[in-house]
Amino acid sequence: MTILRFDVRAATRRDWRELRALRLEALLDTPEAFGSTYAESLRRTRRQWKMMARDFNYYVAHDGGTFLGMASGGRHDDFPGTAWLYGMYVTPEARGTRVASDLVGAVASWARASGYGALYLHVGAQVARARRFYRRVGFVETGDQHVMSRDPALTLLTMRLDLP
Ligand SMILES: CC(C)(COP(=O)(O)OP(=O)(O)OC[C@H]1O[C@@H](n2cnc3c(N)ncnc32)[C@H](O)[C@@H]1OP(=O)(O)O)[C@@H](O)C(=O)NCCC(=O)NCCS
């Protein structure tokens, strides 16, 4: 495994440029993994990105200069007492390291500290690497699945991680 020095921390409004760049990179890298598209994200204003960086509870991995990955957490309105893991992305050069699991760890820590008992996520059925990674860190498929609204050819599976 690559040895990589990195840190994971909560994003702030000042990170908006790097978050924007990473999100746009993610949408080009693995469009089938995300609910929004590169084209619509490109239309977001500077003000919207700043608001997202400040309010969307993002965690970022960085090596001091370069952002290596991102993930966010939010309340799950359908299942009170649980939360979502959203927007998981790790740059190709940081894959196969601890970056992805530490990002999940950061969102899980936030969820536990907020009193949530489980984390849910949606993963594209076609995104084999992500499914395998999520299984390895303890997520299990719930059996729920639905078609992605922006592209009916894409199916999303629901996975859940209990937070003891
Ligand atoms: C999903 C993601 C965060 C996982 O991070 P990662 O660092 O790549 O994960 P890891 O390398 O630790 O684990 C991936 C697993 O898939 C395996 N794998 C690698 N390439 C694969 C492929 N093409 N098909 C299936 N499995 C694959 C790896 O061997 C590893 O399994 P193992 O731990 O049992 O050996 C990262 O790949 C990523 O950002 N992908 C693009 C965006 C994305 O898909 N996001 C998910 C949104 S739900």
User: What pLDDT tens digit does each residue of the chain (164 aa) get?
Assistant: 556 899 999 999 999 999 999 999 999 999 999 999 999 999 999 999 999 999 999 999 999 989 999 999 999 999 999 999 999 999 999 999 999 999 999 999 999 999 999 999 999 999 999 999 999 999 999 999 999 988 999 999 999 999 98
Residue 1 lies in a domain: no
Domain membership of residue 100 (yes or no) is: yes
Closest residue by CA, ligand 1 atom 13: 133
Is residue 2 assigned to a domain? no
Dihedrals phi, psi of 56, to nearest 5 degrees: -95, 15
CB 116 within 8 A of CB 79: no
**35 ligand 1 Cβ < 6 A:** no
Q: How far apart are CA 88 and CA 72, in angstroms?
A: 7
pLDDT of residue 149: 87
- What number does the ligand 1 atom closest to the CA of 69 have? 39
Range of the domain at 88: 7-162
Token duo for residue 133: 């990674």
Q: Nearest-5° angle of CA 61, CA 155, CA 129?
A: 40
Instruction: Tokens 């949530």: give the residue.
Output: 116
Does the model's pTM come out above 0.75?
yes
pLDDT of residue 150: 87
The tokens for 144 are 């729920």
What is the CATH number for 157? 3.40.630.30
Structure tokens at 77: 């309105």
Q: Is residue 17 part of a domain?
A: yes
Q: How many domains does the chain have?
A: 1
Predicted pLDDT of residue 52: 96
